[in-house]
Structure 1
């Protein structure tokens, strides 16, 4: 297990670190004259941020399907290479049109990474182990948020070198490092348990069997069928799990919000660091507690509640120190565990995350220059998102709990040939064996129980 951890989580964390760093560094560059030098208005800047999210949302589903059908190590490396080159080009653009084109391409290339990683990990770990691993790799996003402030301050000191401003070097250096990591990824990242070279054959059998015992039968191999995608698109869980707009508003505008409270550009970038450090600590704790006790609904509700308090303070406050404290509360927020079948899980993750990313298009337009320094409209919209997220989590919990109760009562039992079962109903399907029912129905199988 430790060897699995070392061969999967650290490199995935690095990839997501670069993903988040490259996506959000435009906020740091803005503080150093990026928009001024390119003669970009506030409205144009918001539009450029917005166009990123449409290809980002649309391409997540096909990307996850391609990742499963091809090799994850190669596919993730390919999309990394594309976005690394795109990020580097941010440093040489001359006008608004160039920025819009690059943001569209960046959204297209970055789309597949996050849902791809979560799906990939779900093919290695049991449901009771997944939360901690996802939390560990996701902390790289909070670390990126913290590190981007330090990095922007340091790289900006290159202002004038090669005739380029400091903000250009932020894009160029960070983009080139992503390209280098993309080139070595195929040699570092293993694919699925049934093909991984770092485990022996007995270990491979052990890994696959323990996943099968955890109802993740697909780790042993599953043929692609379009019905799995259809199952995902018609599953209510896919659509109820799509509230993550606040993440993008937070990452893109935190330096600007702090800057407008009266701090200099450098101080604003540096003051964003402890906010993300706190987020990193909370993320690890949440992942560990979720796996240890399995009460993900309660954790979700507590975290959304904390976010509500944070943004209420941000809306009500006219005190810079109090507003800065509220940002800590705001940063402090279970679908893959409740979707069975490799392809359905990959499609559901992509759809849930992708639909949520369309919310990012909204959140990119709510922090307007005319609302500075307190940005109450932006905070109010994010507050509404968090409130919807709280209600969605509550509904998710009650619906899953009710479905588990129906399955315990036998209401979902299939007809199994040769097995006498008074609860069996033909409307739930007729199968040659329990294994056939399990393979065909995934998380809709009567023996599957949702984690709460």
Structure 2
């Protein structure tokens, strides 16, 4: 015979969320762990590839101007290096201005509408780049690419953070952030193939790079309107029971974090007395709710009072963004400056991006497993410093090319822990979280404005000496910011040790 308490527990429709883990299911029964594992595995197989593909196309269409440049774009449009840098800057300015407003309104309009619409619109602008015959036409297209792509990156990151608990987030963010590395590698391969169309239809090869890649983006964006789910409860392959489990885990985590950030101690926390129901989910005003939260400007301003936002979201964001954007636009030019011909330079830019991809995935798995965001950032920052040191210290083309295998991973693989660290430590309310993620991308793209000039007209090939010195120091600055942020979060966790678990992820 079961006791009354045991019988009541056995009748509960769902176990406590802290027993449910996608990674190991520690403390849960085999059946419970299997159901939760299956639920997030389905989202990994359905939601994650869609969002990653959108971001892949974003970086492919944003950065293919670098491939077009060494294929004859700059020569055919009679552009100086100054004008080329200006064209890149025109892309970034509307990109930066639209990011925070876009993220604040993303949930109200619906990410399943906003994200596909952005994709279609910038695909049209990318395609039109292949029809320009003047510098003014290129400037107009670059402006609209920046305008329509702006908000995509923070929007996708905010969207993903609504599907996964914070200690499972970096690996998914890392998979999402493999898109730029894959785009960097694939862009060289694709451009090398498309350039063989030179002269078809009376258009140069670089024009076909824009046209074909833009048309594919438009088609994918149109398909995404019909398949991208608005929230976890709209994922088509989840059973009703799996949706309830996912909603329970996300709801309980948001509630716990809200209590911790409000200063409630462990002794004040009270367990839920009733099972989680669909009605709870519908009426909940946390991030996982179906109802759009109101935009509260005090929550927007609250972000600016958080030290880790300044250290990681703004200062380190600007530093990383400068290097990231610079390498996105100029890696083919850097490789070409080492003595490789245009078509071979496209191909030789591929291997460093592949290494970046592998290291990003491996480090994110370990970072999620051991919750070491700050350490991951510091390691990759120092890896980038070593790469820039080799680039500056040697004038041999092979040594400089080898340095890219340190510089690119040190930059690209750092992006996912930066995003995950910000998202993990500003979880609620929705407006605060949306603003913090948007601020990181604003800072990142603001750094990109600087790098378009630094590598475009202020630092000359083949040495790029001024750029290498500056970007190397930025990597040092990121390591320092991460170290200071880690120390501050450690102190805050020690001060709040009465809370049931650590308030901040390290």
Structure 2 length-normalised TM: 0.80
Deviation at 1:367, TM superposition (A): 1.6
Deviation at 1:18, TM superposition (A): 0.4
User: In 1, distance between residues paired with 2:304 and 2:226?
Assistant: 34
| 2:505 aligned counterpart, secondary structure | coil
1:368/1:375 contact within 8 Å kept: no
1:7/1:190 contact within 8 Å kept: no
2:104/2:295 contact within 8 Å kept: no
1:187 aligns with 2:275: no
1:194/1:220 contact within 8 Å kept: no
Q: Deviations over 1:168-217 (max 9, x none)?
A: 00001001110001101011111112444432332222111111333365
Cα RMSD for the two superposed structures: 1.7
User: In 1, distance between residues paired with 2:456 and 2:216?
Assistant: 32
Deviation at 1:218, TM superposition (A): 2.3
1:230 aligns with 2:269: no
Aligned partner of 1:353 among 438, 441, 450: 441
Tell me what 1:50 maps to. 89
2:126/2:145 contact within 8 Å kept: yes
Tell me what 2:237 maps to. 198
Q: Please, which runs of 5 or more residues in structure 1 have no aligned partner?
A: 411-445
Tell me what 2:380 maps to. 303
User: In 1, distance between residues paired with 2:456 and 2:435?
Assistant: 35
2:43/2:235 contact within 8 Å kept: no
1:239/1:352 contact within 8 Å kept: no
Deviation at 1:26, TM superposition (A): 0.5
1:300/1:393 contact within 8 Å kept: yes
Which one is further off, 270-279 or 113-122? 113-122
Deviation at 1:305, TM superposition (A): 0.5
Q: Deviations over 1:233-270 (max 9, x none)?
A: 44333332232221111111111011011110011110
Tell me what 1:138 maps to. 177
1:381 aligns with 2:470: yes
Aligned partner of 1:220 among 289, 293, 314: 289
Deviation at 1:309, TM superposition (A): 0.5
Aligned partner of 1:30 among 54, 69, 78: 69
Tell me what 1:419 maps to. none
Q: How many residues align?
A: 417
Deviation at 1:401, TM superposition (A): 1.2
User: In 1, distance between residues paired with 2:480 and 2:400?
Assistant: 25
| 1:364 aligned counterpart, secondary structure | helix
Aligned partner of 1:72 among 86, 111, 114: 111
User: In 1, distance between residues paired with 2:400 and 2:147?
Assistant: 35
User: In 2, distance between residues paired with 1:225 and 1:366?
Assistant: 37
User: In 2, distance between residues paired with 1:228 and 1:205?
Assistant: 29
Deviation at 1:94, TM superposition (A): 1.6
Which one is further off, 297-306 or 339-348? 339-348
1:339 aligns with 2:378: no
Equivalent residue runs for 1:126-165 within 5 Å: 126-165=165-204
Tell me what 1:417 maps to. none
Q: Deviations over 1:410-439 (max 9, x none)?
A: 8xxxxxxxxxxxxxxxxxxxxxxxxxxxxx
| 1:220 aligned counterpart, secondary structure | coil
1:259 aligns with 2:336: yes
User: In 2, distance between residues paired with 1:70 and 1:194?
Assistant: 17
Tell me what 1:366 maps to. 454
Deviation at 1:409, TM superposition (A): 5.6
Tell me what 1:441 maps to. none
Q: Please, which runs of 5 or more residues in structure 2 have no aligned partner?
A: 1-39, 256-285, 415-420
| 1:12 aligned counterpart, secondary structure | helix
User: In 1, distance between residues paired with 2:150 and 2:382?
Assistant: 29
Structure 1 length-normalised TM: 0.89
1:215/1:448 contact within 8 Å kept: no
User: In 2, distance between residues paired with 1:158 and 1:239?
Assistant: 48
Deviation at 1:107, TM superposition (A): 1.1
